[in-house]
Structure formats: structure tokens, C-alpha cells
Structure 1
Amino acid sequence: MPRRRSRGGTTPAPPRAALLLSGLLAAAGAAHFVAPKGFDAIVPKALPGDPRRWTRPSGVEEVALAAGVAQPRTRRLAAGPTGAFFVAVFPADLQMAADWRDRSPVRRAVAYGRLPLQVPLALWAESVRRGAGRAS
């Protein structure tokens, strides 16, 4: 996760943070294919077509971002879009929170707990981008 400066910016992340982020992205991307129904269920209803048409490409994107973040030569280039990806999937978290509002307290806690999670994930990606320097 990103380390914070006192002024509110992120400090560059060490290479280990990039590999951890890559692992998270790869696991999540693979899960889109291994267990797609859960992802299909949170595709915002406003998006056209079958939800699976959104689940598969987002899984491919996560795996591609994972590969880019894992490699030092492409890390800086991939980490920026990774942060944008975390912001872009926020509507799915909103959909999940809306759909799960009548579920058990534990499931509601999971759904609502995901909402603020995108902020540290996006900051983590930015920290990895900054840590990659200009070597890409």
C-alpha cells in the first residue's frame, strides 16, 4: 500500500509493492473467468448487453495490467491506467451496495466496505507509478 507524505502525496513504492499489486490484479482478473457469476451480478444495470460481455473484458484488463505492473520496464506505463481502472470499476461497487442492501449484516458490511476501498487501491497504483521512475 502507498506510504503517505505529511503533505498528503504518495511516496514512491518499493518494487515489492508493485509485485503485490500485480498479484492482486492477476488474482482478481483470473477470478473473472474462474467464478464469473459474482462479477456478472455487480455489472451496473445501466450498461448495455449481457453482463458477461463486461465481466470477461474487465478480467482480461486486470490480467494485462498485472503483467504490465510486474515488469520493471513497463511498470510506470501500466501503473497509471491501473489507478484509472480502480476508479472505473467503482460503479460496480455501487451496484453491489445497492443490490445487497437487504442482505444479512455481514454481506452488507462487505458490500459497503468495498466502497471506500477503491481510494487506497488507486493511491497504491500511483505510488507504484512514482516508484517506477522514468525507466520504462
Structure 2
Amino acid sequence: MQPTSSRPSGRAFSQTYRIYYADTDAGGIVYHARYLEFAERSRAEMLRQVGHPLVGPAGEQFVARAAALSWQKPARLDDLITCETSVMQARGASIRIRHAFFRGEEALVEIQIDLVHVNSAMRPTRVPDALRARLAPFLESPAPGA
């Protein structure tokens, strides 16, 4: 998993955040762990937009398995930042999501996170085909020559 700090290819789910005091450290810079929180909110809203509940009727849900973060530039108090969320790949019981954060056109942070779809007993279970189809608009285009 290697972050690239570029805009996702294809269509991405976009959500904007204003940076408040609670998001920053003593120097007025966004505290590093806040990006994971912003990413989780964006991911949850993308799933809501495609009509998928955070926890399904039988207790199925996505859980994080791994994350890679790359910081290029800091966001600061009162900045307006955008998180562009896209699906890098979907396989079996897992999906890889990219969260790319920007201030205007300026790349700030990229998070790649691997999620595993689990049942109520926390055992991996295949991502439903219907959900794969609903996430298809957010699937990144393969890189040229890939």
C-alpha cells in the first residue's frame, strides 16, 4: 500500500470540512489523527449515499484492517479542506479506499485504507454483489499500462 498524493482517477465522493480549534494542536495545525476521523466520516457518507447501512440487518459491517497515511502539507485552523473518497479495488471480502485531502488544488494528505467486510461474529464475508454494483461509480480507473 503506497500513497500517491494525486487526485483519484474517475469519480470520487467529495466532502468538505472546516478546520476548528478542536481539530488542531497547540500550533494551530490539524492534529494527525483527525485525518483518520475525517476519512471515516467521508467513507460513512459515501456508503450512505449508495444506500448501504453502516451495520447491516444481520450485523454485517466493514472493519479497518490496515491504513497507510502520507502527509504532504498541513491544514491549519479555519482552512476549508475537501476529502475525495474513491474505491481503489474491491476483492472478495475486502475493499481498498483512497481518501485524498485537498485545500483547493493543493494536496495535503492521502490515506489508503483496507476494509474487511465481516459478519456479526467478526468473520470475513464476501462483499455483497449489490454493494459492489452501487460502489462502481466510485471505482478508480486503472492506471495506464496497468
Fold shared per TM-score above 0.5: no
- Higher-RCO chain (CA-CA 8 Å, sequence separation at least 6): 1
TM-score range, shorter chain: under 0.3
Structure with the higher fraction of residues in strand conformation: 2
TM-score, structure 2 as length reference: 0.23
- TM-score, length basis structure 1: 0.24
Query: Which has more helix, going by share of residues?
Result: 1
